[in-house]
Amino acid sequence: MIHAELAKRLTAKHDDFHSLQQYAPDWLQAVKSAYTASGELRPAVEAVFPQEAGIHLLQASLPRRQVWWAVLSGLDMANTMDLHTLRLNLLLLSDSTLLAARFGEKGAALKPLLHALSPTPLAKAQYDVLAALLDEEEETLRSWIAKDGMLDAYKLREYLFADVATMDAVLADEMAD
């Protein structure tokens, strides 16, 4: 009986996404958890990866999602018209290409840091601050990764972004250059 019920559940046909959602609420809950994990970037992540495309969030590794979050942090979603093409670019382009498009020449140096960043993304403006301070702080951050095997997002926020005024000052200096 158990095997027959399992076979029935695994082979059930679903005519549309909504019937699949009703049938597999665990999958939907996992996508919602992925949205929540994106923190301040949640509106952009939900727009680019709506529920029916949420499987991409679940399949992507944390380093890959960290790159996506860094790229999405630089977008003004109100002016982003073609979310489908944006999603395809995030899915198909390499991390190096995405980071170069977002951060220019600093993208290559940011890649290993973002790949080691765990467990959450930074706040939206903090990616720009990280890029601005990269020359000064890269050695320290790499030593943390070597010691801990990862770059703790919470520790990074406290170290680089002690207060909003400092973060705003770093961004203003970067914009002036």
Range of the domain at 59: 20-176
- Which one-letter DSSP state was computed for residue 120? S
* Mean pLDDT, residues 32-54: 91
Contact 96, 111 (CB under 8 A): yes
What pLDDT does residue 25 have?
60
Give the helix ranges, DSSP H, for 12-125. Answer: 17-23, 25-37, 42-48, 55-59, 62-72, 83-92, 95-103, 107-116
What pLDDT does residue 1 have?
46
Q: Tell me whether residue 8 is in a domain.
A: no
What pLDDT does residue 61 have?
94
Strands 117-118 and 151-152, by their bridges, are: parallel
If one counts every other C-beta atom within 10 angstroms of the C-beta of residue 165, the result is 8
Instruction: Kindly give, in sequence order, each residue whose CB lies less than 8 Å from that of residue 67, ignoring residues fewer than 6 positions away.
Output: 95, 98, 99, 111, 114, 115
Q: Tell me whether residue 62 is in a domain.
A: yes
Q: Tell me whether residue 2 is in a domain.
A: no
What pLDDT does residue 166 have?
65
Q: Tell me whether residue 24 is in a domain.
A: yes
What pLDDT does residue 167 have?
63
Specify the residue for token string 């909003």: 164
Q: Tell me whether residue 11 is in a domain.
A: no
What pLDDT does residue 8 have?
55
* Integer Cα distance of 19 and 119 in angstroms: 32
The model's pLDDT over 54-105, given as tens digits with 9 standing for 90+, comes to: 889 889 999 999 999 999 999 988 888 899 999 999 999 999 999 999 999 9
Q: Tell me whether residue 33 is in a domain.
A: yes
* Integer Cα distance of 21 and 23 in angstroms: 5
Least confident among 15-24, 92-101, 166-175: 15-24
Q: Tell me whether residue 150 is in a domain.
A: yes
The model's pLDDT over 97-153, given as tens digits with 9 standing for 90+, comes to: 999 999 999 999 999 999 999 999 998 888 998 998 898 899 999 999 999 999 999
Higher pLDDT, 46 or 17: 46
Q: Tell me whether residue 56 is in a domain.
A: yes
Instruction: Kindly give, in sequence order, each residue whose CB lies less than 8 Å from that of residue 150, ignoring residues fewer than 6 positions away.
Output: 116, 117, 118
Number of domains in the chain: 1
